[in-house]
Amino acid sequence: MIETGQLEVRAGLVDHLARLWRYGLVLSGRRDIAEDLVQATCVRALERAPQFAVGSRLDRWLFSILRSIWLNELRSRRIRQGEGVVEAEAALIFEGAKEIETNILARQVLRHVQMLPQAQRETLFLTYVEGLTYRDAAVMLDVPIGTVMSRLAAARETLSKLNSAPENATTAESEG
Amino acid sequence: MTTSSAGRPTEADLVAFLDRELSPVQVQWVESWLARDAALRRRLDLLGRVGGGHVKEAFSALLAAAPEARLKAKLLALPGYRPERPATPWRKPWLWARNRPRLALLAAGIAIFMAGMLIDRLLPEWREVVGIEVASDNEDEWRQAVAEYMSLYTPETLSGIADEVPPKDRELAAVGAKLGIHLLPSSVSLPGVALKRAQILEYDGKPLGQIAYLDPRDGVMALCIYADSHQEIAPSTEQRAGLNIVHWASHGRAFMLVGRKTMPELRELASVLSQRLTL
């Protein structure tokens, strides 16, 4: 007989694959690693399904698993292989994003987000994209809430500059 | 919240204020400062220019880029994933489905997936019959990514870009430098289509050049050059993401011409380009 938690994990996993992949991309900056991360997360989630608290947020639980795999396994392996983690200036935007042709500001935002330090980028993503409260983000990232605030402030400061001369930026984008 | 509610609000306080993360008391405190501190108001205005909503919107496009079908296929292939049936007797299968609609949906999804696999297995023969190359090895994944990307283009994507040569000149030189190939407007110009833009992208850590054209009749077309090929490939045709493609590889670089032109037309243009670029 399967526990309810297991059923919930099995039934719900499939709904979160794209968002997990996106988080993996934010962490690793590479679509192939993001894909590996999702796969590893699915394996781990199925193994740990009995531990899932029924009624709690499955997406957050999966995110924690993915993050832990990235921090403890894949990232260190890549560094050992000398492949580095993310070359901020290398990709025009995140590899997986390709380009957002329809919205120039969106392109600029993604490009600048990619250039943020990893900790700021992840905090910004979890808070604004995935909608975690400051408190939830602090728990997920295992940092004090003040750190979440200062990371967001630093990230917003950087992003505010990208839009300080929108006309010029827009012209450059449309030509580029 | 670590905000002290005393003294002048910091940048972090202002951001938390914008994000509605402050308590009512803290909100009052920030508002009272804003009412009398013009510099603080300017800071708030600046920090608010790119808000959480902008970030969220920018990232929403990333979801569309997720290889969802492949992720699902991998999940379904995991040994522990097979949705197990409850220990109730099989006499009432529909009761089980009624009580667990998501599982029933999942089962339906698996059935569709299995059907899809069957079709995939049969498809190669069909493709061979009609002369379309079967694309499956890793070397061609970049073409799939490019085709999916190009399928998002509309003529409006490029129509706003002027046709003047000088900026293209510089763009091509920059793209060429990244790819280690000499690119000139004369080497990539094609009859009847306007050369619109050259830019460098990246796929799997390697530079990917894109030269975009606009055809008055068939819309967007692009020549893409990927600086990572381990094979020599003669010009071949295929279809991906609803687009026609001619691709070839030479001297460590893979090329693809992708667009909505007919295959014979595309093949002719590709032949011109391959002669100019692979000499």
The model's pLDDT over B112-134, given as tens digits with 9 standing for 90+, comes to: 444 444 434 433 332 333 333 33
In chain A, pLDDT over 90 holds for what percent of residues?
A: 40
Q: Do B225 and B255 touch, CB atoms closer than 8 A?
A: yes
Residue of B nearest to A127 (CA): B52
Average pLDDT for A112-136: 92
Quick check: B233 pLDDT over 70? yes
Q: For position B144, what pLDDT does the model report?
A: 83
Burial of A58 (0-12, 13-18, 19+ CB in 10 A): buried
**How far apart, in whole angstroms, are the C-alpha atoms of residue B17 and residue B28?**
10
Count of CB atoms situated within 10 Å of the CB of A84? 11
Write out chain B residues lying below 8 Å of A113, CB-based: 55, 58-59
**How far apart, in whole angstroms, are the C-alpha atoms of residue A137 and residue A130?**
10
Model confidence over A50-86: pLDDT tens digits?
Answer: 889 888 899 999 999 999 999 887 666 655 444 444 4
* B48-62, B118-132, B217-231 — most confident range: B217-231
- Residue A27's alpha-carbon distances to A106, A116, B51, B64, B255, in angstroms, are 19, 12, 21, 18, 30
Average pLDDT for A160-172: 51
Q: For position B66, what pLDDT does the model report?
A: 84
Do A46 and B157 make contact, defined as CB atoms within 8 angstroms?
Answer: no
How big is the A-B interface in CB pairs under 8 Å? Answer: 191
- List for chain B the helix, strand, coil content (%; round to 5): 50, 20, 30
Q: Which of residues 194-213 of B touch A (CB under 8 A)?
A: 197, 199-205
Q: For position B161, what pLDDT does the model report?
A: 79
Quick check: B88 pLDDT over 70? no
Q: What are the tokens at B132?
A: 């379309």
Quick check: B253 pLDDT over 50? yes
Average pLDDT for A127-140: 95
Distance between the two ends of chain A, CA-based, in angstroms?
A: 59
Is B155 an interface residue toward A (CB < 8 Å)? no
Q: For position A77, what pLDDT does the model report?
A: 60
Upper half-sphere CA count for residue B121 (Cβ side, 13 Å) = 6
Q: Select from A58, A12, A18 the least CA-distant residue to A37.
A: A18
Do B199 and A92 make contact, defined as CB atoms within 8 angstroms?
Answer: yes
Residue of B nearest to A11 (CA): B103
Residue of B nearest to A112 (CA): B55
Q: What are the tokens at B36?
A: 């009398």
| CATH number of the domain located at residue range(s) B138-277 in this protein | 3.30.200.100
**How far apart, in whole angstroms, are the C-alpha atoms of residue B254 and residue B209?**
10
Quick check: B143 pLDDT over 80? yes
The residue among B30 and B88 whose pLDDT is bigger is B30
Domains of chain A with CATH codes: 1-86 (1.10.1740.10), 97-176 (1.10.10.10)
Do B66 and A46 make contact, defined as CB atoms within 8 angstroms?
Answer: no
Q: For position B86, what pLDDT does the model report?
A: 36
Q: Do A38 and A17 touch, CB atoms closer than 8 A?
A: yes
Q: Which residue from A25, A39, A131 is facing B62, i.e. has the nearest CB?
A: A25
Write out chain B residues lying below 8 Å of A159, CB-based: 49-50, 54-55
Task: Kindly report the three-state secondary structure assignment for every residue of B161-201.
Answer: CCCCHHHHHHHHHHHHHHHCCCCCHHHHCCCCCEEEEEEEE
Q: Is B225 helix (H, G, I), strand (E, B) or coil?
A: strand
Do A91 and B202 make contact, defined as CB atoms within 8 angstroms?
Answer: yes
Q: How far is B191 from chain A (nearest CA, A)?
A: 22
Count of CB atoms situated within 10 Å of the CB of B146? 25
Q: Which of residues 70-99 of B touch A (CB under 8 A)?
A: 70-72, 74-75, 78, 80-81, 83-84, 86-87
Which residues 6+ apart lie within 8 Å of B18 measured at CB? A156, B44, B47, B48, B51, B52
Q: Do B173 and B157 touch, CB atoms closer than 8 A?
A: no
Model confidence over B150-169: pLDDT tens digits?
Answer: 887 788 778 777 777 667 88
**How far apart, in whole angstroms, are the C-alpha atoms of residue A60 and residue A64?**
6
Which residues 6+ apart lie within 8 Å of A111 measured at CB? A92, A93
For chain B, which residues make up each domain, given as ranges?
1-64, 68-130, 138-277
Do B70 and A35 make contact, defined as CB atoms within 8 angstroms?
Answer: yes
Q: What are the tokens at A146?
A: 């003040």
Q: Do A66 and A23 touch, CB atoms closer than 8 A?
A: yes
Q: Which of residues 29-88 of A touch B (CB under 8 A)?
A: 30-32, 35, 38-39, 42-43, 46-47
- List for chain A the helix, strand, coil content (%; round to 5): 75, 0, 25
Q: Which of residues 35-74 of B touch A (CB under 8 A)?
A: 46-50, 52-59, 61-63, 65-68, 70-72, 74
H/E stretch holding B70 reads helix B68-77
Residue of B nearest to A15 (CA): B72
Q: For position B106, what pLDDT does the model report?
A: 52
Q: For position B217, what pLDDT does the model report?
A: 87
Q: How far is B22 from chain A (nearest CA, A)?
A: 10
**How far apart, in whole angstroms, are the C-alpha atoms of residue B88 and residue B96?**
8
Do B55 and A159 make contact, defined as CB atoms within 8 angstroms?
Answer: yes
Q: For position A170, what pLDDT does the model report?
A: 39
**Best B26, B71, B141 residue to mutate vs chain A (most A CBs within 10 Å):** B71
Q: Which residue from B16, B47, B149 is facing A157, i.e. has the nearest CB?
A: B47
Do B2 and A42 make contact, defined as CB atoms within 8 angstroms?
Answer: no
Model confidence over B176-189: pLDDT tens digits?
Answer: 998 888 898 888 99
DSSP string, B116-178: HHHHHHHHHHHHHHHTPPP--SGGGHHHHHHHHHHTT--HHHHHTS---HHHHHHHHHHHHHH
